[in-house]
Structure 1
Amino acid sequence: MSEHTLQVVRRDWLTEPLPDDVAQSLERLARADDVRQIAVMPDVHLSGEVCVGVAVATESLIYPAAVGSDIGCGMAAIQFAVDAELLRNQNSAGQLLCGLYRAIPSLKHAQATAPRALPAPLAARPLSAPRLEKVKQRDGLWQYGTLGRGNHFLEFQADDEDRLWLMIHSGSRAMGQAISGHHLRTSSPAPAKRLFGLDASTAEGAAYLADHDWAIAYAAHNRLSMIERVIECLDRSFQVAALPDSLIHCNHNHVRRETHGGQTYWVHRKGALSAALDEPGLIPGSMGTASFHVAGRGLADALGSSSHGAGRAMARGVASRSISVGRLQREMRGVWFDQRISPRLRDEAPSAYKDIHGVMRAQRDLTSVVRQLRPLLSYKGV
């Protein structure tokens, strides 16, 4: 049986019919060499060569595009030993926002506040090319502990018992992009007529996987560094401590070896959360809607995956053109945020995203809700 006559299993968990461009992208993915199974999440939307919101299984090939350039992008959450009442008044919210601006830059640190070295586990692990080492020593250092732009955020939330939680969404910053771009440039034939894959058993495949694992670690350390800064901020301003045992930490852009339905694959997730049985996870809505703490159900048909969020309903350009500042502010009523940057947040308005409750209903076989949270204060980089 030839490679192209093998049947690719694809299963979808959707809130609505797929747009034509998304359907075409998924069909192209199914025709890629060595793809054996595809799981399409309810937050699926178009993004580059491979849609966000998919899990893809292969036997021997690694597809960098099915991980994405923000390798290791993910979520972290932690509870504080205080009720959400802390952020009910404007003075407290304003004080906290000012503290966050000082503690967590969106792009890079000023020279005076930049870390002098990366954490030892990152500094000690070499990357596969001198060019990547240079990026690591420059951008990797200057961006360590920063949030990023776009859909990355830091949000304070209240659970159903009115307890205060922090949720952070951030990734590997410039490092993931540099690593992904390097391996695509140096290994991909030009022009590439099909989705480009690396054989995991080759030196090129091993180099990508090693650099990928470094980016996963960088992104995780980056989120934990920001949590430490936020803890210091709340302690300094309000004498409030975090509860370390409450930490939840996960990522949704990666590839790793997993077994599903008795078959062992390379499982790629691009904007898809690992949802093994009882595995804790975090699924945010938009910056004005509910978020969820979840536990996976381990469904093999979905490659043990779930959505990583609500998913975009509008492309950024469309949202920026069609959503007014007034509409954004109405949709954000009841949530503290820096209204001075409203014009630049229109593409992140709640209405630019799918309905998170519909997404959660569509994936009830993939993950279960442990806790629902409502937004109190949103901090975003622009």
Structure 2
Amino acid sequence: MPRLLPPAPGCRPILVWARALPPGAEKQLRHIASQPYVVEHVAAMPDLHVASGIAVGTVFATEHHVVPGALGGDLGCGVSAWRFPLTSGLPGRDVLERVLSQLAERIPVGDAVHRGRGLPLPPALESPPLSTQKLRHAWERLAPRHLATLGGGNHFLELDRDADGALWLLLHTGSRGVGAAIADHHGRVARALGEGGLPALDIHTAEGAACLADTQWACRFALANREAIAARALDVLEEALGVAADPTSVVDVHHNHVAQEEHGGRLLWVHRKGAVGLQSGQRGLIPGSMGTASYVAEGRGEPRAFRSCSHGAGRVLTRAEARARIRPAALEHVLRRVVYDKGRAAALVEEAPAAYRDITEVLEDEADLVRPLLRLTPLAVLKG
């Protein structure tokens, strides 16, 4: 059940599903709750943590404003999953190592992109009507080279097993440089022309309408990116396993976006930064960390959370803190049963399980938001 933060003058109510607020998070929640365009209340998910603009895990709504700085730079970022119904048992470590090596060869990770002109774009994404010539040029230059690339940070490709012995492919990535360019442009427009301490654009203005439209194109590219990566990964896995993924098992959710939805009998623009929107009964994904379980979950449609839930475990250490506190040897010990690139252990300490919250506590805190359906245990992980 959520708790209500003590009210403050000029602030909308703040409902928090996290058992404890990390340092600085309450200040960020109160800042967004004090903005004149926010309606109803602000909802904080259990994986809440401080970030630029507003905290990751923040959900709020407006009547007719879009807030570029409340969506993050990786517009449309999300998680996808596919299930492989195995009949001959899980693959051994040797097979997993070979598969991970093949995935790393076929899918650029980190800062890597496709060389030259890149890949052909899906026809629907070849020439989107973006709002400025500069953004159109950025799309033409970046989209073909960034399509089917994973990116860095907490992005991943992961092979998991469920309790029934099936294998799952999980994928986490977003809109890459395309989304970053769009987010940066409209953030600058909002800072110049917007309303409020975290500047918002009225959607009835040309600037606000352009922001919404361009953001939706970024989300479309993010989905296309996941689909393009999945096509390559599924080919590798189907060849290695001798079985195709179950097409009815596919789940895809995004967690940095704004969407028009009906809440309380009226249409609102719901902003989610690091939060997933799930209708009652809709399946979603809540990943843990590099060495801990992830979950397929079902939304409960809780209206007080704007039908939202956490997008993962949530960081408890910044990347700098993780590098300072976690030794590569400690990471190797924690991941001794997981196949990964041990040669990158010094860099991957930023993504160590100790840098994240306990996913079981996160699920306990949001028991009225989602119902866990399947626990997925990691077998192999490719990080950006």
Question: What is the TM-score of this pair, normalised by structure 1?
Answer: 0.94
CA distance in 1, matches of 2:194, 2:376: 47
CA distance in 2, matches of 1:272, 1:112: 35
CA distance in 1, matches of 2:170, 2:327: 27
Partner in structure 2 of residue 166 of structure 1: 169
CA distance in 2, matches of 1:248, 1:30: 32
- Alpha-carbon offset, residue 123 of structure 1: 1.2
Q: Is the 8 A contact 2:297 2:373 kept in 1?
A: yes
Which of 62, 68, 72 aligns to 1:68? It is 72
Write the mapping of 1:14-53 to structure 2, written as runs, cut at 5 A. 14-16=18-20, 18-36=21-39, 37-53=41-57
When the two structures are aligned, how many residues end up with a matched partner? 375
Partner in structure 2 of residue 59 of structure 1: 63
Partner in structure 2 of residue 342 of structure 1: 345
Partner in structure 1 of residue 3 of structure 2: none
Secondary structure of residue in 2 paired with 1:306: strand
1:14-71 Cα distance to aligned partner (Å, 9 max, x none): 132x134111111111111211221000000001011100111111211111111111
Secondary structure of residue in 2 paired with 1:87: coil
Secondary structure of residue in 1 paired with 2:86: strand
Write the mapping of 1:200-239 to structure 2, written as runs, cut at 5 A. 200-239=203-242
CA distance in 1, matches of 2:161, 2:227: 20
Secondary structure of residue in 2 paired with 1:150: coil
Going from structure 1 to structure 2, the CA distance change for 1:123 and 1:6 (only over 3 Å counts) comes to same
Partner in structure 2 of residue 78 of structure 1: 82
Going from structure 1 to structure 2, the CA distance change for 1:311 and 1:336 (only over 3 Å counts) comes to same
Partner in structure 2 of residue 140 of structure 1: 143
Partner in structure 2 of residue 280 of structure 1: 283
Partner in structure 2 of residue 10 of structure 1: 14
- Alpha-carbon offset, residue 84 of structure 1: 8.6
Going from structure 1 to structure 2, the CA distance change for 1:236 and 1:209 (only over 3 Å counts) comes to same
Q: Is the 8 A contact 1:147 1:170 kept in 2?
A: yes
CA distance in 1, matches of 2:100, 2:254: 26
Partner in structure 2 of residue 180 of structure 1: 183
Q: Is the 8 A contact 2:302 2:308 kept in 1?
A: yes
* Greater displacement, 70-79 / 98-107: 98-107
Gapped runs of 5+ residues in structure 1? Answer: none
Partner in structure 1 of residue 4 of structure 2: none
1:197-216 Cα distance to aligned partner (Å, 9 max, x none): 00011111110111011011
Which residue identity is paired with 1:38?
Answer: V
**Aligned-pair identity (%):** 39
Q: Is the 8 A contact 1:288 1:335 kept in 2?
A: yes
Query: Cα RMSD (Å) of the superposition?
Result: 1.9
CA distance in 2, matches of 1:84, 1:256: 43
- 1:301 lines up with 2:304 in the alignment: yes
CA distance in 2, matches of 1:178, 1:49: 17
* Greater displacement, 76-85 / 285-294: 76-85
- Alpha-carbon offset, residue 82 of structure 1: 2.0
Q: Is the 8 A contact 1:108 1:142 kept in 2?
A: no
Which residue identity is paired with 2:202?
Answer: D
1:96-146 Cα distance to aligned partner (Å, 9 max, x none): 11111111111344437931x211111142211111111111111101001
CA distance in 2, matches of 1:259, 1:227: 32
Question: What is the TM-score of this pair, normalised by structure 2?
Answer: 0.93
Which residue identity is paired with 1:78?
Answer: W
